[in-house]
Structure 1
Amino acid sequence: MALNDTLARVDADLAAGRIPVARQRLRGLVSSYPHEPAPRRRLAEVYRWRKSSYSGGANGDCLEVADGQATVPVRDSKTPTGPALAFSPQGWTQFVSAVKDGELSA
């Protein structure tokens, strides 16, 4: 299926409230068209991103996390249409604990 046809199906899925299906289609498009910005941008719009409570500072080093997913997507707030890392919920919990406990260094 062509890119524009699949994006139209994503729009129909979203209009019908089938958000998980829309996300799945968009992830497929991102994988199939890695250099095309439209699927990445649309996927970023579909997730509900929030700034991490541990982000901040004057230099703009901020992470955003998307809630309500089977995995925990994390991205750099300076490039919202760029790639995101996907952690398992357990992996994310362990990562946050390690950061809080000072077990990781830059």
Structure 2
Amino acid sequence: MVENNKTTKAFSLENYGIKDAQAHYQLSSEELHNITVEKGQGVQVNSGALAVNTGEFTGRSPKDRFIVKDEVTKDEIWWGDVNIPFDPEKFDRLYDKVTEYLSG
């Protein structure tokens, strides 16, 4: 029998502009299950399984793929209905908004 002893690890997100937050990786299924229940993002049913309500929207919309169009990407991407160009300045503003929201 092979035993897998993965160590739970976490790292700071400060390098990405997100303050007072950590990302965790290599969590066991039990750890993920417990965190999901603790955060109220799912419930444990009578059988012990985890049940999660994903809501009305469960997939990515094919018309929601935005790529920053700059000197690196302008001639490398097939622009159109699938790959929609996004201004670098708009990306920077959105990035700042997201990192502020995720901080703390």
Q: TM-score range by the shorter chain?
A: under 0.3
Structure of higher CA gyration radius: 2
Q: Which has the higher helix share?
A: 1
TM-score (norm 2): 0.22
Identify which of structures 1 and 2 has the higher relative contact order when contacts are C-alpha pairs closer than 8 Å and 6+ apart.
2
TM-score (norm 1): 0.22
